[in-house]
Structure 1
Amino acid sequence: MNEDSAVTTLIDSEAAYNSDLGSAFQGDSRELLEQLPDNSIDLIVTSPPFALQHKKEYGNESQEGYNDWFMEFVPEVRRVLQPHGSFVVEIGGAFKQGYPERSPYQFQLLNRLVDPDEGGMHLAQDFYWYNPAKLPNPIEWVNVRKIRVTDAVTHIWWLTPEINKDSAVEEGEHPHPEANNQRVLQEYSDSQKQLMESGEFNDGKRSSGWNIDSEAFANDNDGSIPDNLLEGFQSGDILDRLDEFSAKEFLEMVSNEDIGDLSAGEMLRMLGMGGNTADNVIEASNTASNTHYLKMCREFDVDSHPARFPRQIPEFFVDFLTPNPPYDDWEQGALDRPVVLDIFAGSNITGQIAEQKGRYWMAFEKEQKYLDASQFRFLTEEEIRKRYNSDQSDFGDFATLSED
């Protein structure tokens, strides 16, 4: 695609492809990690194959050997991370084979990760991905015998090699240079500040002047928007309480939405005013079917990765755990801006998000076909058509992409 990016200076292997800010590499992450210098990565965000009952086409370890397999990556992960760096792992649960009993494998793994004599990591905080569109699995226990409910929440662990007890925010607006993994990212808009000053916005309780988090509200309205609140939005009375920019931004965000279908929490979160979802819960449905990546996979008859991150997960953690550009005074990392790595890259949504956010990125992926397809995230449809060799029956390896 492009010439070598800056991150290729950190590794001996040749990149499978490059973008303006990052590079993707094919191979076993255990071996690729060994090539990176000490303290060269600022953030690792990844979703490894889970310890599921059945073998998936993208490869996954059995429940019995999963934790031993995963721990093989950890010494190198810890070595390559900056002291302020973070290791974010999304890891789903599983039922035991043939029984309606949950496997505790991911909790046992967490214990090993934070064991000073083994993983040596620190658990900074636990997060949860709530997928309201999650399908029942396994169907035997959820839909057939109805003795379990749909498993709609996946654990995400934020780990770090070191914990800094100092405040992450100086009195100015810049994060504390020694505590990037302890950043306090709550930045208030003018409208939020006005509400807090008036006593109508209680940040400690994450509620607002409309008391959307109260038990009475939940019971009386069954989670829906009450008529007076809905009428207030539709008439513009509530929007009048916000600064001009916030109101305009909100109207643009809901221009394609039926405002009556939004929950109170969704509406207020769109306004940047909190809501009734805890901050360490990321709500995202992984049901997108018409993204650029998927459309190009269908167009060129290429296998898309079957277990993709929703973009909200890497987006949240890239924003949360790395500073925003410009990086004129960036002196914290191995390069002149933060480096984000995904060691189980799959379709490389992490790299795409990092690129969009102005960070450097690296992607490690063992399966060649998924790495091939992940290029689509960095090419326009016109560029793909120009580069694609129509004489080949399969998109195949990179030889089928013309650089003309």
Structure 2
Amino acid sequence: MKLTLNKIVDSKVYKSKKGMLIQGNSIELLQNNKELSKLKGKVNLIITSPPFPLNNKKQYGNEKGEEYKDWFIKLAPIFSDLLADDGSLVIEIGNAWEPERPVQSLLHLECLLGMVKHPEANLRLIQEFICYNPSKLPSPAQWVTVNRLRTVDSYTHVWWISKNDFPKADNSKVLRPYSKSMEKLLKRQSYNSGKRPSEHQISEKGFLKDNGGSIAHNFFEMEAIDEKRDVRLPHSVLSFSNTNSNDYFLKTCREKGITPHPARMSGGLVNFFIQFLTDEGDLVLDPFSGSNTTGYCTEKLNRKWVSFEVKEDYIEQARVRFSDPLLKSPLKKIKV
């Protein structure tokens, strides 16, 4: 699949070695631009963190309430058309709260149900993941820090969706390190087999093979819950959290006096799903890319990518991200 850049009209396009960032409304462009219709059925992974259904407008743009739900559900057939038959859609979304009430909204759940039940999309929820971040600021602030009626909302949902019961996936590519006790067991080559109180029958040799790590969980602990216990994230996730102040992108933003996008998707999360659900050379798309963490991670992992972003400020932040000398693949503006 090769796009003819001069046919992506009314848009600024920025290219790297592996992908392109298109400035504009992704949904309008994907629906109406004939050149972008070439993407249909070719995308192996759509991964994105769309604007959350918050009660207050944010600078990165977001709808509210029923308007948000209608907007979200209409994405279903658009995304389904883009996906290859064994492709995946991964969406990170936060919780919502009822306006001026200490009551959690069902809006995000209604969005999920509306998407997977859309009659024109043929989608289904493959698995839900939870991304826990103990460094998140206390929210909803009114009910946590002012009135002190609720606990901190400290996690986001990550939905893995596909139009096939068996999308491309390989959990052996995203193994997490073995625990210290498992490392000792493998070295010792013995353990207590037999029947457990749970009635599971543990075989004599079932846990003696070294597979290079243990199978990842669907819970991402971005920082340690217990400081005395090692966080065993998959190697692909590493410590790529939004609090990593030594990150090249954040360091350069500080030097240039740039305020980074306030709702950046975790690079570790993006790394995980790219490695879990795609192969080198596959195509990854992010329709709401912000500062383009998705494109950056995809480039480093040797996949092709297409990202969209409306705001000029965030396009410039993406260019900062791609100026990383270790990447050696700057985003260059193309005349179209």
TM-score by length of structure 1 reads 0.64
Matched ranges for 1:47-58 at <5 A: 47-58=49-60
Within 1, Cα distance between the matches of 2:118 and 2:238?
29
Per-residue deviation at 1:301? 3.3
SS at match of 1:358: coil
**Comparing both structures, which one devotes a greater share of its residues to strand?**
2
Q: Percent identity?
A: 36
SS of residue paired to 1:60: coil
Q: Which residue in 1 is equivalent to 2:106?
A: 104
Q: Post-superposition shift, 1:299?
A: 2.7
Q: For 1:263, which of 200, 207, 228 is the aligned residue?
A: 228
Match of 2:189 in 1: 198
| Aligned-residue offset at 1:54 | 0.8
Instruction: Quote the residue 2:220 is aligned against.
Output: none
Deviations 1:367-392 (A, max 9, x none): 121012211121147999xx9xxxxx
The corresponding residue for 1:217 is none
- Deviation for aligned residue 1:139: 1.7
1:183 aligns with 2:170: yes
- Confirm or deny that 1:25 pairs with 2:12: no
Checking the alignment, whether the CA contact within 8 Å between 1:130 and 1:283 is kept in structure 2 is no
Check conservation: 1:7, 1:360, Cα contact below 8 A: no
User: CA–CA distance in 1 between the matches of 2:91 and 2:294?
Assistant: 12
Q: How far did residue 117 of structure 1 move?
A: 1.7
Give the equivalent residue in structure 2 for 1:308.
264
Q: Aligned-pair distance for 1:303?
A: 4.0
Aligned residues of 2:72 and 2:115 also touching (Cα < 8 A): no
CA gap 1:102/1:270 in 2 versus in 1, 3 angstroms: closer
Q: 2:310 aligns with which of 360, 366, 371?
A: 366
* Aligned ranges 1:1-400 → 2 under 5 Å: 8-9=3-4, 12-13=7-8, 16-34=13-31, 35-37=36-38, 38-115=40-117, 117-164=119-166, 179-180=167-168, 182-185=169-172, 195=186, 198-200=189-191, 262-266=227-231, 269=232, 285-323=241-279, 325=280, 337-380=281-324
- Greater relative CO (CA pairs within 8 A, separation 6+): 2
Is the Cα contact below 8 Å between 1:8 and 1:15 reproduced in 2? Answer: no
Residues 163 and 192 (structure 1), Cα distance of their counterparts in 2 relative to 1, 3 Å cut: farther
Amino acid at match of 2:288: F
Q: Which ranges of structure 1 fall in alignment gaps of 5 or more residues?
A: 1-5, 165-178, 206-242, 247-260, 273-280, 326-336, 388-396, 400-404
Please tell me whether the aligned partners of residues 7 and 361 of structure 1 are also in contact (alpha carbons under 8 angstroms): no
Q: How much does 1:283 deviate? A: 8.9
- Could you tell which deviates more after superposition, 51-60 or 63-72? 63-72
Which residue identity is paired with 2:37?
Answer: L
CA distance in 2, matches of 1:291, 1:201: 45
What is the root-mean-square deviation in Å for CA atoms of aligned residues? 3.8
2:174 touches 2:275 (CA, 8 Å); kept in 1?
no
Once the two structures are TM-superposed, the CA of residue 78 in structure 1 deviates from its matched residue by 0.5
The amino acid of 2:244's aligned partner reads: A
The alignment partner of 1:83 has SS state of strand
1:8 counterpart letter in structure 2: L
Residue identity in the other structure for 2:160: W
Which is worse superposed, 122-131 or 191-200? 191-200
CA distance in structure 2 between the partners assigned to 1:201 and 1:184 by the alignment: 27
Query: Residue 118 and residue 196 in structure 1: after superposition, are their counterparts in 2 closer, same or farther (change >3 A)?
Result: farther
1:170-191 residue CA offsets vs partner (Å, 9 max, x unmatched): xxxxxxxxx51x4343677999
Matches of 1:45 and 1:65, distance apart in 2: 22
CA drift at 1:270: 7.1
TM value normalised by structure 2? 0.76
Cα distance, 1:314–1:382 mapped onto 2, change above 3 Å: closer
Query: What secondary structure does 2:66 align onto?
Result: coil
CA contact 1:7–1:23 (8 Å) conserved in 2: no
Instruction: Answer yes or no: is the 8 Å Cα contact 2:76–2:116 preserved in 1.
Output: no
CA change 1:161–1:145 in 2 (3 A) is same
Letter paired with 2:15: N
Comparing 76-85 and 110-119, the one that deviates more: 110-119
Letter in 2 for 1:183: D
- Secondary structure of the equivalent of 1:314? helix
1:120 Cα deviation from its structure 2 partner: 2.4
Structure of greater Rg: 1
